[in-house]
Amino acid sequence: MRVLVTFAGGTGHYGPLAPLARALAGAGHEVHVACQASAAPVVAAHGFVVLPTTAETARPVRLTELLPLDAGREDQALRAAYAGSVARSRTRELVILGESWRPDVVVCDEVDFGAMVAAERLGVPHATVLVMAAGSFVREQVVGEPLRRLRAEHGLPDEPGLEMSARHLVLCPFPPSLRDPAFPLPPTARLLRPAGAMAGGRGGGSPAGPGSDAQGVDDGVPSPAGDAARPLVYFSLGTVFNLESGDLFARVVAGLRELPADVLVSLGADLDPAVVGPQPDHVRVEGYVDQAAVVPRASVVVTHGGSGTVTAALAAGVPLVVLPMGADQPHNAARCAALGVGVVLDPVTVTPAQVRDAVGAVLTDPAYRRRARTIAVEAAALPGPARAVGWVEDLARR
């Protein structure tokens, strides 16, 4: 079976698809991945044939000012780019790719609308993999109109804009509790275990507070030079919004270093450690860390609220402090607050003292970790990517 795996965004959109792509390849299927050129090196490093496309989603090239959260601005970006220019460009290119390579099935991320239209043009079924944990960011009232125009341009029948997303098979690699109940999954949806969740139902994460030996594991992940018996706080703003953060790194780190904890900061490859200045020995600042390895060792994860980081933390039973900056992050933050697995702060106005107090509260109140572990157990009970291989095979046969 030939499988064309596609994603329209950056590498954060690839993460939820990667376990399924590897499982499909491991089952003997031929897997090619179509993505924007900037994400191609990450995909190629996993051993896949990469088919680069030209449409690129917007990404800063240097550190920019941190803007106040504006839900209307984020909706407009989703509408104009993912459902507009990016979808139009990807439809055109993926139709051409499909006509030459002839896949049996397309597996695409939930905002790769161009892949869905291209698959329909090619007469090929598609499976949609959700990449937004809370499920309330991608909405019909936001993307419906441009998607109807796109379908009309390709001679496809008119329908509600998101109907094509759920037509065949929807794969949801998130704990069901994380999804906003106001946006239920469609009947075609199947739940999958998130990457990093432990099969067998064990909640991950190291115990909070003194006595934890989880940080003593020698796995190559850089650790601070402090006391290994202390809790570890991990802080990251992802790989896109890190460049839209203004002085947020400096403010957060100034608060974290006052805690009786070791701190590991991941800036992203594009930022210089000078943005946070010199730090004491118990604070380690890196450009890149293996997040999958470090999150289960953390006692608290401080994050912008991207779906990948939030899910990784909760799949490991680790509570959060969330500083939502844009995209689906406010939606994920709201779910974390509603579930009692974290604290939400305003990244524009937050002070070092507020960061210190919020993280300190999560560290010392065991209820946050207890609730996070409940979600980890829920995630671990879900079927793994091998089960999804059978679903995709059935879809291709149909």
Report how many domains make up the chain. Answer: 2
156-198: per-residue pLDDT in tens? 999 887 999 999 999 999 999 999 999 999 999 999 999 877 6
Q: Which amino acid is at 330?
A: P
**For the chain, percent helix, then strand, then coil, each to nearest 5?**
40, 15, 45
Tell how far CA 369 is from the center of its chain.
Answer: 21
Strand partners, 53: 36
Element (H or E) spanning 119, and its range?
helix 113-122
Q: Is residue 18 located within the same domain as residue 148?
A: yes
Residue 61: the pLDDT is 72
What mean pLDDT is reported for the chain?
90
CB 2 within 8 A of CB 30: yes
Give 234's DSSP letter: E
Q: Is residue 187 located within the same domain as residue 224?
A: no
Q: Is residue 226 located within the same domain as residue 86?
A: no
Closest CA to 364 of 200, 192, 208: 208
- φ, ψ for residue 356, nearest 5 deg: -55, -45
Q: Is residue 96 located within the same domain as residue 8?
A: yes
CATH of the domain at 79: 3.40.50.2000
197-251: per-residue pLDDT in tens? 765 444 444 333 322 323 333 344 455 544 557 899 999 998 888 888 989 999 9
Residue 206: the pLDDT is 37
For residues 89-114, give the mean pLDDT: 97
Q: Is residue 107 located within the same domain as residue 9?
A: yes
Burial of 100 (0-12, 13-18, 19+ CB in 10 A): exposed
* Distance between CA atoms of residues 176 and 25, nearest Å: 27
Residue 255: the pLDDT is 98
Rounded to two decimals, the pTM is 0.90
Range of the domain at 171: 2-193+382-397
* Distance between CA atoms of residues 75 and 66, nearest Å: 18
* Distance between CA atoms of residues 71 and 292, nearest Å: 30
